[in-house]
């Protein structure tokens, strides 16, 4: 069924719930897991004093931090006996997740959703929604609802 599962993470609670679900699915199905984090390029702002921050250095620091965080998440998957790879990418999150799933041959994408509605959704947009609309493989969205179990267990994989 699913041999390779890609899970996107932005280090939020909803993406943590998605990762836990993806790990459990991969464990039960004997699938490989790929954990992907996408950093958006930092915008170039000029300060009133005219100084520009060292954006390449700052972007590299953000990337290094994200790589450490993703590796910590990979340890959880490995402890569950799941083979895992990781990637920290630079780009637009939804586009990069969909493209990575396509090029890496993922059979399923798992993403968390914040459950925003109304004006907040219009203003902030939804990475999960864009992934669902553009992915060429099935997408499982996981909403971390208040009071949800900490160890998400998908019933469909039982």
| pTM for this entry | 0.82
**Please, are residues 88 and 100 in contact by the beta-carbon 8 Å criterion?**
no
**Please, are residues 144 and 16 in contact by the beta-carbon 8 Å criterion?**
yes
pLDDT of residue 43: 75
Q: Which range is least confidently modeled, 1-10, 51-60, 107-116, 124-133? A: 51-60
Q: Which range is least confidently modeled, 60-64, 100-104, 134-138? A: 60-64
Q: What is the 3-state secondary structure (H, E, C) of 41-94?
A: CCCCCCCCCCCCCCHHHHHHHHHHHHHHHHHHHHHHHHHCCCCEEEEEEECCHH
pLDDT of residue 157: 42
pLDDT of residue 47: 57
All domains of the chain in start order, with CATH: 4-41+54-143 (3.40.50.620)
**Please, are residues 111 and 126 in contact by the beta-carbon 8 Å criterion?**
no
pLDDT of 74 over the 80 cut: yes
What band does 23 get if pLDDT is binned at 50, 70 and 90?
very high
What band does 143 get if pLDDT is binned at 50, 70 and 90?
confident
- 3-class SS of residue 36: strand
What is the average per-residue pLDDT within 97-108? 98
Distance of CA 128 to the CA centre of its chain: 9
What percentage of the chain reaches a pLDDT higher than 70?
78
Phi and psi at residue 42, in whole multiples of 5°? -70, 135
Q: Which range is least confidently modeled, 26-30, 50-54, 66-70, 119-123? A: 119-123
pLDDT tens readout for residues 31-63:
999 999 999 987 766 555 655 667 788 889 999
């Amino acid at each position: 069924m699913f041999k390779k599962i890609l899970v996107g993470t932005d280090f939020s609670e909803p993406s943590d719930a998605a990762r836990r679900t993806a790990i459990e699915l991969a464990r039960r199905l004997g699938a490989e897991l790929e954990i992907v984090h996408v950093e958006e390029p930092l915008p170039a702002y000029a300060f009133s004093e005219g100084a520009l921050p060292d954006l390449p250095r700052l972007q590299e620091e953000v990337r290094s931090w994200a790589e450490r965080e993703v590796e910590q998440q990979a340890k959880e998957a490995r402890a569950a006996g799941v083979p895992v790879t990781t990637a920290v990418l630079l780009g637009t999150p939804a586009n990069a997740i969909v493209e990575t799933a396509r090029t890496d041959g993922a059979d399923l994408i798992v993403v968390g959703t914040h459950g925003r509605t109304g004006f907040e959704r219009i203003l902030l947009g939804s990475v999960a929604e864009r992934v669902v609309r553009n992915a060429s493989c099935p997408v499982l969205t996981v909403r971390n609802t208040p009071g949800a179990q900490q160890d998400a267990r998908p019933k469909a994989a039982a």
